[in-house]
Amino acid sequence: MTLCGAPALRLSLMAAPLQLADHNPELARRVAYCRRLLNRRALVAAAASAVPVPGLDWAVDAALLSKLVPEINRLFGLTPEQLDKLPHHKREQVQKAVGAIGSMLVGKFITRDLVLRFAGKVGMRMSAKQAARYVPFAGQLISALVGYTAIRYLGEAHIRDCIQVVQEAHLPLPPLALEAAPVPLLKAS
């Protein structure tokens, strides 16, 4: 379905990932799993944001995102290793889809610098979180809420980007047994 030559998918930039996965139960299953991962990581971010130690929340957010984004990429078959195994024409389709969507993190090795640029999308919220932290009790609650919301926003945006790339590139999803896979908060490095 197109409108003025543009895919309807691109017109719904703020569509929820589950809406984008409509009519594809395997994609919807991955979205649900990614959201569980995202929710747990966002709760950790909220807890770190409530602690009035300068810089702790940024360090925790960066660590959470640097683990979360590659895991989401893996679930959609979009890690650099997974993409390298695709035939050349499929890799080109993925690259075109990533370019059209404008994603910074799909199919890339995730570095601290890349995570910080990605987090820059919610920089104003992060500044408000830093300021609010120093107001006793209410400020810590506000800071925790902003921390949770920022991680959720970034994660949902990345899930949405992954879905759009998979759909536009007609990429097959890798086989997964999600029921057996644990949902860790942080992996020990």
Give which of 107, 79, 78, 76 is closest to 176, Cα–Cα: 76
If you ran DSSP here, which 8-state letter would residue 5 be given?
T
pLDDT of residue 114: 56
Q: What percent of the chain has pLDDT over 70?
A: 66
More confident residue, 41 or 141: 41
- Mean pLDDT of the chain, nearest integer: 74
Q: Is residue 12 very low, low, confident or very high in pLDDT (cuts 50, 70, 90)?
A: very low
pLDDT of residue 7: 44
- Decide if 24 contacts 172 (C-beta within 8 A): no
Examine the pLDDT at 150 and tell me if it is beyond 80. Answer: yes
Q: What percent of the chain has pLDDT over 90?
A: 11
pLDDT of residue 3: 35
Q: What is the pLDDT of residues 152-183, one digit of tens each?
A: 988 998 898 889 888 888 888 888 765 545 55
If you ran DSSP here, which 8-state letter would residue 133 be given?
T
pTM strictly above 0.85? no
Examine the pLDDT at 75 and tell me if it is beyond 80. Answer: yes
Examine the pLDDT at 36 and tell me if it is beyond 90. Answer: yes
**Ranked by mean pLDDT, which of 11-25, 127-141, 160-174 comes out on top?**
160-174
Residue whose pair of structure tokens reads 């024409």 in the numeric block: 89
Q: Is residue 127 very low, low, confident or very high in pLDDT (cuts 50, 70, 90)?
A: low
Return the minimum-mean-pLDDT range out of 48-52, 75-79, 113-117, 130-134. 130-134
Give residues with Cβ within 8 angstroms of 163, minimum separation 6.
Answer: 17, 20, 21, 27, 31, 76
What is the CB neighbour count within 10 angstroms for residue 1? 6
